[in-house]
Structure 1
């Protein structure tokens, strides 16, 4: 690897849990050996954009807004700092400007004067628990750079039921207010982890197409966190996105899990009409057991070669990053609206 991003097949990964690990252990920085995701591995994997989730661990006690603020501080100190080297992605214009810079001639030594080869970093909120039922906190999240919000983790909170909540309820009154305010702000909505009823209620209320940032196909592996066929079709119909994830229990019900085991999920979503709506949301640093051949983002080029044995270049390029980038270029807020 030469450390440069692959312009031909850039990768977008829509979910990792680096920030949670940093919050729980002050010794962990963005180059720590305990991390799956580091800048070095992002560059080796040709990752153009990595989404960093803000997930508040249960070990911290009752989730509070200060927990969100702390992870944003860690993001700024370690990820988008001069030492971390990534660039925060906030606006649709950012990606357009980067494309324009990428087309400019390089210097004779092969380097550009700007930092267009540095990956982007996008902030998401995984679970609205720490917003404490206060819509003002959602506005603050938007103002300080969060661009994607999931209402729940697996269980119930003040906004909605998660997929593992036995009663299977949908959105609360305050949850509907949060969706409405997110629509007004331009906060994109993530339906991974939501209850089935909550999923449908978000799709009814959302004015921008939602995504499932890290979920697979239930018909292939019947884990509750995976998407049913009607959910997949609904995301396709609204031009949302489905981020296939590398959580082994969401890929295959038992046994050793390899990168090849993701292919049935890809096949199934393609059969439902979703060939142009797939992307990847690895869940790196939130994974206890790794897929063989997909242990960290530096493995994406090998995964690309596997995909190319089965699918044409155009589809593989789209799945790796093209479909996610088009979604963001279309749906991220504009600087002019802020």
Structure 2
């Protein structure tokens, strides 16, 4: 089955090595092209992420540098990698092509300048998380003790997303900011979050949050980070499926997708260590009495039914 994966940090690794590794087959990349092909990943989202400790005046340049490697290496050196700039581009991918989608994980890079945000849109960013775990000028992240909501500037960003048919990603928001976004976003999405009812971690969604997403017909994408799955040494695919089971039990059957967080996590779920192993999750779901129709939904089709219009 084809897969759409809504979160990878491969661009960060390409930036950190300053082009010394190649997207095509670098062993250091869990989402290199060869592994995407083997795992039948049809669309891969590539996040632009800026560490909070980078100096404010350097952050926008770091974002541009990551996008540089997206265009010169991911796309430029691999003709079968195709830029997704319009949502309809996904439907037009040929059999041997893989779609590449730019996303933004935290808007720290733009400071308080909406013009910079517009530039990132022009460069292809189509899904935007307002924060990482920290606070910025748009909102507070999941690990910010203050726990404040969306700022006026944050509302301006969400309005831009709404106007330009972009997703507003809630995965790293604190709860107050989550609810503020839900009140104003036309296209909310959780690119990489699991169930807090199964694993009580601040990065996961409570049942109240998850139900709000499902009621708004928004997608929630499962993340493969072991710390968000289960509190034990060797986390398995069966442990991840518990989160899918739970979300299905509260109305999420048609709103579940995948968001691996490969290249952004240091430990891995057993038998799900890189993009080449993505089919292992689908096979285990089929063995767990999920119908082929439901599994295709989780893998690809649910996302295609929820594209911004």
The alignment's TM-score, normalised by the length of structure 1, stands at 0.87
Matched residue, 2:116? 137
Matched residue, 1:215? 193
Correspondence 1:307 to 2:301? no
- Match of residue 183, structure 1, among 162, 168, 174: 162
Question: What value does the CA root-mean-square deviation take over the aligned residues?
Answer: 1.4
Matched residue, 2:264? 286
Report the secondary structure of 2:112's partner residue: coil
Correspondence 1:24 to 2:16? yes
Shift of 1:93: 2.5
2 CA distance for matches of 1:39 and 1:68?
22
1:196 to 1:46, Cα distance in 2 relative to 1, 3 A: same
2:45–2:103 Cα contact (<8 Å) kept: yes
1:83-98 map, 5 Å: 83=78, 85-98=80-93
1:25-44 map, 5 Å: 25-26=17-18, 27-30=20-23, 31-44=25-38
Matched residue, 2:247? 269
Correspondence 1:13 to 2:13? no
Tell me the alpha carbon deviations over residues 107-142 of structure 1, each in whole angstroms, 9 at most, x when there is no partner: xxxxxxxx5421101000000000111111111111
Report the secondary structure of 1:284's partner residue: coil
- Matched residue count: 305
Shift of 1:14: 0.5
**Between 19-28 and 271-280, the greater mean CA deviation after superposition:** 19-28
Shift of 1:143: 1.1
Shift of 1:52: 0.3
Extract unaligned runs of 5+ from structure 1. 1-8, 99-114, 333-338
Shift of 1:95: 2.6
1 CA distance for matches of 2:52 and 2:26?
23
Tell me the alpha carbon deviations over residues 75-122 of structure 1, each in whole angstroms, 9 at most, x when there is no partner: 001111143631011113213333xxxxxxxxxxxxxxxx54211010
Matched residue, 1:50? 44
Matched residue, 2:179? 200
Shift of 1:308: 0.4
Report the secondary structure of 1:153's partner residue: coil
- Match of residue 130, structure 2, among 128, 151, 156: 151
Shift of 1:320: 1.0
2:80–2:96 Cα contact (<8 Å) kept: no
1:185 to 1:91, Cα distance in 2 relative to 1, 3 A: same
The alignment's TM-score, normalised by the length of structure 2, stands at 0.95
Matched residue, 2:206? 228
1:79–1:85 Cα contact (<8 Å) kept: no
- Match of residue 73, structure 2, among 55, 78, 82: 78
Correspondence 1:246 to 2:239? no
Report the secondary structure of 1:276's partner residue: helix
2 CA distance for matches of 1:324 and 1:293?
24
1:142–1:187 Cα contact (<8 Å) kept: no
- Match of residue 61, structure 1, among 55, 66, 80: 55
